[in-house]
Amino acid sequence: MPSDEDSMVVTPYEVKGDIDYDKLVKQFGAELIDAALLKRFEKHAGELHYLLRRGVYFSHRDMKWVFDELEKGNPFFLYNGRGPSGHTHIGHLTQFIFTKYMQDKFQVPFYFQLTDDEKFVHNFEMTLEQTNFFARENALDLIAMGFEPDKTHIIIDSEHAGTLYPLAIRVAKRITFSTVRATFGFTNSHNIGQIFYTSFQAVPSILHSVRVGRNVPCVIPLAIDQDAHFRVARDVLPKIGYFSPAILHSKFLPGLQQGGKMSASDPESAVFTVDPPKVIEKKLRNAFTGGRGNAAEQRKLGGNPDICSIFANYQLVFMPEDDKLGEIERRCRSGEMLCGECKGICIELATEYLTKHQERREEARDKIEDFLLKDP
């Protein structure tokens, strides 16, 4: 029998097995977010975001240094991204929600990379026109979250190559094939676009420093699957004269089916930001929960929110208020509320949230140009 550690795989290109986050932190050489770090967040931001309070962002690299620099008067900038293989799902939204909180509280520049090149080289089914189309669709979701246009710079790799390429080759020169092979599990049959790509993902972590002409710390919120790119980048960037970016790792919003991963290429695994109300309702009605075999048993024993995909949706996106979430949890565990009622509440909240998001998303169509990074 393979151990958990053997069967668990978490890379940007494969997530499988039961995810043990504590093991991952050790395996990747990161650090758990502790009470002292949360205190510093609270002190500087004025309040702790619910995704920090609930331990969804749970691990980090170099955030203590980021706060040290901030206290010395050297604030950071933010960097985040999305691989446009399809529409944005609710899991991706958690990253946008958290980054928005960081921009609001710290009033710092934010670079957002849309990797139409990455999704093209990694997916033989998709043309570059398709990944570029989804890059612009995903940009609408970001803009709809209310980021500030004068502080937010959207990068589309295939369109901003003139800015990125001279920096990417400086990074690429320092990364050996054996490093990417070991980091991503590449073999001889991977194409050379895949092998080169990580140097493109590294670049926005220094782009602000390059633009302002001095080293500025960079903070990257992401789910832990993306860590591999930055393990490589963090080794290389100091060698070419820049800071290593600091990282904030989040857990995943689980897929809607039991044990399943949320995937942009599997429409049933997730609610997408463009789903109409009927589709939202159908997906959430069919979602895996922590309910018992029948109503009588559940009334007696209670449900289990720890394994429930509906509860995870509340926790990560649709229920920021701790008191409301606590009440849902209490009613579930005590057997007072059954899954049908709980799903109904989730459907109502998700529909309201996404209907508003979809309106703002349409308004964003006229704003994309304001947000695109202006090449020098």
- 220 lies in the site for ligand TYM, by CB under 6 A: yes
* Subset of 102-141 contacting ligand TYM (CB under 6 A): 113, 115, 118
* Burial annotation 58-74 (CB, 10 A radius, 16+ → b, else e): bbbbbbeebbebbeeee
Contacting residue, 62, 137, 225, 281, with ligand TYM by CB under 6 A: 225
Contacting residue, 60, 61, 82, 292, with ligand TYM by CB under 6 A: 82
Choices 59-67, 123-131, 159-167, 215-223 (CB under 6 A): range interacting with ligand TYM: 215-223
Q: In angstroms, what is the minimal distance from the CB of 204 to ligand TYM?
A: 6
Which lies closer to ligand TYM via its Cβ, residue 335 or residue 353? 353
Our CA angle for 9, 11, 12, nearest 5°, is: 145
Choices 19-27, 221-229, 318-326, 338-346 (CB under 6 A): range interacting with ligand TYM: 221-229
Contacting residue, 83, 245, 290, 303, with ligand TYM by CB under 6 A: 83
Which lies closer to ligand TYM via its Cβ, residue 170 or residue 292? 170
Q: In angstroms, what is the minimal distance from the CB of 298 to ligand TYM?
A: 27
User: What ranges in the chain are assigned the alpha helix state H?
Assistant: 4-7, 21-28, 35-45, 50-53, 63-71, 90-106, 116-122, 128-144, 161-172, 177-184, 192-202, 204-212, 227-236, 277-285, 295-301, 309-313, 322-334, 339-363, 368-371
Q: In angstroms, what is the minimal distance from the CB of 12 to ligand TYM?
A: 6
What is the maximal distance between C-alpha atoms in the chain?
A: 67
Q: In angstroms, what is the minimal distance from the CB of 296 to ligand TYM?
A: 34
Cβ atoms of 214 and 206 within 8 Å: the answer is no
Binding mask 317-356 for ligand TYM (x = CB under 6 A): ----------------------------------------
Give DSSP secondary structure letters for 232-252. Answer: HHHHHGGGGT-PPPEEEEEPP
Taking CA atoms, 77 is separated from 30, 69, 152, in Å, by: 21, 12, 10
Cβ atoms of 319 and 349 within 8 Å: the answer is yes
Cβ atoms of 295 and 353 within 8 Å: the answer is no
Which lies closer to ligand TYM via its Cβ, residue 121 or residue 364? 121
Q: In angstroms, what is the minimal distance from the CB of 203 to ligand TYM?
A: 9
Which lies closer to ligand TYM via its Cβ, residue 226 or residue 298? 226
**Rounded Cα gap, residues 368 and 305, in angstroms:** 39
* Subset of 234-253 contacting ligand TYM (CB under 6 A): 250, 252-253
Choices 73-81, 98-106, 348-356, 367-375 (CB under 6 A): range interacting with ligand TYM: 73-81
- 262 lies in the site for ligand TYM, by CB under 6 A: yes
Chain-centroid distance of CA 250 in Å reads 7
- 86 lies in the site for ligand TYM, by CB under 6 A: no
In sequence order, the β-bridge partners of residue 60 are 31, 248
The footprint of ligand TYM on this chain (CB under 6 A) covers a number of residues equal to: 23
Cβ atoms of 317 and 49 within 8 Å: the answer is no
* Subset of 6-45 contacting ligand TYM (CB under 6 A): 12
Q: What three-state secondary structure class fits 110?
A: strand
- 159 lies in the site for ligand TYM, by CB under 6 A: no
Q: Give the residue among 252, 269, 255, 279 at the shortest CA–CA distance from 56.
A: 252
Give me 169's structure tokens: 């080759």
Q: In angstroms, what is the minimal distance from the CB of 72 to ligand TYM?
A: 26
Applying CB under 6 A, which residues contact ligand TYM?
12, 79-83, 91-92, 94-95, 113, 115, 118, 201, 220, 222-223, 225-226, 250, 252-253, 262
